[in-house]
């Protein structure tokens, strides 16, 4: 398993280093100058991830490589930690290989590894804290829990169960709380020296915006729950309701089967709290937010696996892992940016606005400002979107290029380039009036599809 893990790590290291989101760019800025007010990175600052990226930056000069390697090294620990936690929780050493392989085979895992974000290292600290508590290493558990909150403070919900389990050890509470307090104090001093009291004002503004304006959460927009159903179907197959039902009745199963390890109902309540937080507090457009409930769900459901089925689950994990394999290539955002620079005078997009402005020579208009976007499109700008671009959204006919994601948990992108066949005013007017369109699909390599619309 260790050799397979190293091969998996080497495969991901072969991918080109490229940032593919504004959040990853913000982390790269934070490596050289930390300031939440300057979005380097954005609130809440993620101090421990910045420290890790700065440490790696001592060995590599490229900022993008520093944040991507920080994410990759943290994510590489997820599979072994989840497998060890399942073994310890269920007292079944034979669960090591199937759980390890299933976590590696998740499309979420390589996505987290190459994202340049703090999710992977924070999840590794979370699993490590739970494992340390199972082994009664209280001080280590406290240190890892403090690092979890410093790596990704928005994962505070994940800290509830390890905090509860740690405080249950009455004789060792001080050894558990002290590392958490020390890491928290160091993190507070780190963000304070950069922004002072303004850090808290920015936090209030950022949190309000996330839940009301641009966060796309179900807390502000109830219809986003339907988007979550679509995301679950794509990432976990349409059978995911069966897994959810199994997790909810999990506390009854060990008692009825007289299993050696009895799982406390606290674990199921904890998983349910994570599920509700994900559904109402996170953006369904980003499948990486499914990682906490997916990892914990695999660990908990591993106990349902019959002993005779462990070999079959191992083989299934290997097959799923081979299905995840893809040849190393840049992310869809990098591919779209390269084509846009060659063919577009300007660009309108809602995704990666800051990244494109800093990494390309194009004039980039933020698609959230609809008046500016319409003006730029009328002047011949291209349009970049995560969804197919309808003809009614463009003032002229366009050639649409599809850039496929590297993994199922990454977004693909559509780039609409104004078509040269609609240069005269009559054709443009006919297109705007909703004339029937025919589409010619042309394959370009393995990663893109061009749709040419003719009025």
- Rounded CA separation 364/353 (Å): 7
Q: What is the DSSP string of 244-296?
A: HHHHHTGGGHHHHHT-SSPPPHHHHHHHHHHHHHHHHHS-TT-GGGGHHHHHH
Mean pLDDT score across all residues of the chain:
88
- Rounded CA separation 241/154 (Å): 26
pLDDT of residue 139: 96
Residue 439, pLDDT > 80, answer no
pLDDT of residue 267: 92
- DSSP lists the bridge partners of residue 374 as none
> How far is residue 342 from each of residues 122, 141, 335, 361, 382, measured CA to CA in Å?
38, 52, 11, 10, 11
* Three-class DSSP category at 328: coil
- Rounded CA separation 230/347 (Å): 29
Residue 254 banded pLDDT, cuts 50, 70, 90 = low
Residue 448, pLDDT > 50, answer no
For the chain, what percentages of helix, strand and coil (3-state, to nearest 5) are there? 65, 10, 25
Task: Output the six-digit token pair for 79.
Answer: 């599979």
- pLDDT tens-digit profile of 367-381? 989 999 999 999 999
Task: Output the six-digit token pair for 10.
Answer: 């080497």
- Rounded CA separation 126/84 (Å): 13
Residue 453 banded pLDDT, cuts 50, 70, 90 = very low
Residue 237 banded pLDDT, cuts 50, 70, 90 = confident
Residue 404, pLDDT > 60, answer yes
pLDDT of residue 210: 87
pLDDT of residue 443: 32
In which region does residue 375 sit, left (phi positive, over 0), alpha (psi from -120 to 50) or beta (all else)? Answer: alpha
* Three-class DSSP category at 413: strand
Helix (H) or strand (E) holding 62: none
Tally Cβ neighbours within 10 Å of residue 338: 13
In this prediction, residues 421-431 reach a mean pLDDT of: 42
* Three-class DSSP category at 364: strand
Residue 256 banded pLDDT, cuts 50, 70, 90 = very low
pLDDT of residue 249: 82
In this prediction, residues 310-315 reach a mean pLDDT of: 90
pLDDT of residue 381: 95
Range in 157-161, 188-192, 217-221 with the lowest mean pLDDT? 217-221
- What is the separation of C-alpha 152 from the centre of its chain, rounded to a whole number of angstroms? 12
Burial per residue of 3-39, b for 16 or more beta-carbon CB atoms within 10 angstroms, e otherwise: eeeeebeeebeebebbbbbbbbbbbbbbbeebbbeeb
- What is the separation of C-alpha 348 from the centre of its chain, rounded to a whole number of angstroms? 24
Task: Output the six-digit token pair for 379.
Answer: 């002047």
> In terms of C-beta density within 10 A (0-12 exposed, 13-18 middle, 19 or more buried), how is residue 74 classed?
buried
Residue corresponding to tokens 């794509």: 234
In this prediction, residues 208-228 reach a mean pLDDT of: 84
Tally Cβ neighbours within 10 Å of residue 453: 21
Detail the DSSP E strand segments found in 147-279. none
Task: Output the six-digit token pair for 67.
Answer: 């944040």
Residues sharing a CB contact under 8 Å with residue 399, sequence separation 6 or more, in sequence order:
416, 417, 418, 419, 450, 451, 452, 453
């Amino acid at each position: 398993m260790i050799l397979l893990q190293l091969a998996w790590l080497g495969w991901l290291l072969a991918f080109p280093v490229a940032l593919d989101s504004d959040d990853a760019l913000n982390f790269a800025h934070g490596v050289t100058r930390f300031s939440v007010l300057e979005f380097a990175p954005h609130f809440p600052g993620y101090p421990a991830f910045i420290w890790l990226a700065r440490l790696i930056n001592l060995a590599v000069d490229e900022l993008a490589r520093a944040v991507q390697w920080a994410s990759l090294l943290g994510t590489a620990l997820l599979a072994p930690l989840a497998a060890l936690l399942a073994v310890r929780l269920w007292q079944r050493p034979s669960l090591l290989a199937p759980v390890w392989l299933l976590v590696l085979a998740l499309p979420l895992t390589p996505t987290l590894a190459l994202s340049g974000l703090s999710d992977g290292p924070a999840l590794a600290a979370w699993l490590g804290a739970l494992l340390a508590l199972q082994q009664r290493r209280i001080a280590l558990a406290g240190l890892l829990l403090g690092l979890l909150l410093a790596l990704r403070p928005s994962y505070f919900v994940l800290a509830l169960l390890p905090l509860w389990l740690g405080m249950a050890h009455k004789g060792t509470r001080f050894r558990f709380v002290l590392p958490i307090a020390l890491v928290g104090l160091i993190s507070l001093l780190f963000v304070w020296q950069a922004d002072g009291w303004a850090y808290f004002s920015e936090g209030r503004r950022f949190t309000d915006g996330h839940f009301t304006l641009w966060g796309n959460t179900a807390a502000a927009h109830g219809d986003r729950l339907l988007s979550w159903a679509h995301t679950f179907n794509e990432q976990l197959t349409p059978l995911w309701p069966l897994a959810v039902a199994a997790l909810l009745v999990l506390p009854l199963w060990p008692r009825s089967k007289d299993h050696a390890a009895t799982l406390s109902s606290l674990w199921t309540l904890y998983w349910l709290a994570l599920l509700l937080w994900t559904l109402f507090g996170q953006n369904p457009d980003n499948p990486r937010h499914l990682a906490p409930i997916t990892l914990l769900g695999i660990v908990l459901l591993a106990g349902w696996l019959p002993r005779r089925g462990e070999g079959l689950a191992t083989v299934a994990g290997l097959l799923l892992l081979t299905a995840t394999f893809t040849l190393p290539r840049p992310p869809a955002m990098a591919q779209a940016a390269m084509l846009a620079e060659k063919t577009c005078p300007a660009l309108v997009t809602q995704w990666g606005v800051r990244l494109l402005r800093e990494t390309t020579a194009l004039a980039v208009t933020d698609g959230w400002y609809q008046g500016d976007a319409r003006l730029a499109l009328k002047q011949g700008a291209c349009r970049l979107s995560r969804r197919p671009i309808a003809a009614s959204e463009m003032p002229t006919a366009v050639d649409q290029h599809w850039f496929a994601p590297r993994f199922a948990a990454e977004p693909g992108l559509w780039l609409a380039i104004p078509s040269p066949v609609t240069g005269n005013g009559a054709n443009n007017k006919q297109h705007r009036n909703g004339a029937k369109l025919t589409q010619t699909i042309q394959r370009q390599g393995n990663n893109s599809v061009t749709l040419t619309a003719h009025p």
